[in-house]
Structure 1
Amino acid sequence: MADIKDPENTILLELKGGTVTIELLPDVAPGHCDRMKELARSGAYDNVAFHRVIDGFMAQTGDVANGNMEKDFNIRAAGTGGSDLPNLKAEFSNIPHARGSIGAARSGDPNSANSQFFINFNDNDFLNGQYTVYGQVIEGMEHVDAIVRGEPPANPDRMISMKVAADA
């Protein structure tokens, strides 16, 4: 079991292989952390597909508008949606995009992050200063490593559930 220091800022992400424990960084990116907790608490992330998974790079998910249709996974729309909430302002920092870090996915506009995020498989320093880092996997990275690859995968893996540890 992971050593959870701050349950209010720890995410428990349930994948097919087990639980991934993510420590959020509210001192670094408070808006992004609050958004993830809000969507997790509403159940918006439950059953959402990993729609873009690139070996040696990252696994992207969080398209709550298009990624949770059980039978009708919309391959064309996957990755284009967000939540009904307003987009977030970038919260860039000097925290590196290291293996297991959580980054905010966005369009070309730095202030367009919403609900989508990615988990880095490797150290991806070329992303530093260009995408908001707001969390770090502290346990269960082996379950992230096992996510089916593809852009999008033919049969994508899904987030079974996401909870704030304080609520679990």
Structure 2
Amino acid sequence: MKLIQIAFAGLLCLAAFAGNAFAADDNTLTIQLKDGPVVIQLMPEVAPKHVAQIKALAAKGAYDNVAFHRVIDGFMAQTGDVKFGNMEKGFDPEKAGTGGSDLPDIQAEFSKVPFQRGTIGMARSQDPNSANSQFFIMFADGDFLNGQYTVVGKVVSGMEFVDKIKRGEGQNGEVSKPDRMVKVTVGKK
């Protein structure tokens, strides 16, 4: 009987942990896609400046309706161009992916966190210190990015919705009539 009580207590603890493991806090980003919500655990301990910028942009609604302008099957889906990528306010498919936000670019915060399926990384130009508002979600592992791009978070639920994002055509993954981030929120709802 004692063994059953211990096992039951263990199951209760496990259930309580599982229920709270991905509880929304101020480092949780939720991206509503057409197929469902994607929950991201941001990593301020890894990239504090980048995470702060993403949270600031999300809090003011800058990411709402922004296109996934570059999507490469088996690699990643890129979004976050708040200047040229908003599909309701000034969307420019020719310029989408070249803009950022009104906030300053951020110095690189490279880490030892690997790029794996579901990792969120900051997009940038050739200059490692040029990340601003754009980020990408990995469809698969990408070890070749390790130490070259800033990791800001990890998808903790909804990866099945990320997998449904419309893929791009061409070598650079440009997307015609792209999917979008419908709404992006930070913290508890």
The two structures have a TM-score, normalised by structure 1, of 0.95
Q: Which amino acid aligns with 1:144?
A: V
Q: Which amino acid aligns with 2:187?
A: A
1:100-115 paired onto structure 2 within 5 Å: 100-115=118-133
Picking from 12, 23, 35, the partner of 2:53 is 35
Q: Which amino acid aligns with 1:93?
A: S
Confirm or deny that 1:161 pairs with 2:179. Answer: no
> Residue 47 of structure 1 aligns with which residue?
65
Gaps of 5+ in 1: none
1:67-146 paired onto structure 2 within 5 Å: 67-70=85-88, 73-146=91-164
User: How many residues are aligned here?
Assistant: 167
Identity of aligned residues (%): 61
CA RMSD in angstroms comes to 1.5
> Residue 11 of structure 2 aligns with which residue?
none
Picking from 154, 174, 185, the partner of 1:152 is 174
The two structures have a TM-score, normalised by structure 2, of 0.85
Give the helix-richer structure, 1 or 2: 2
In 2, Cα distance between equivalents of 1:5 and 1:101: 18
For 1:37-75, what per-residue CA distance to the aligned partner results, in whole angstroms no more than 9, with x for missing partners?
A: 100000000000000000000000000000013386312
Q: Which amino acid aligns with 2:40?
A: I
Q: Which amino acid aligns with 1:152?
A: E
Task: Give the CA deviation at 1:4.
Answer: 2.5
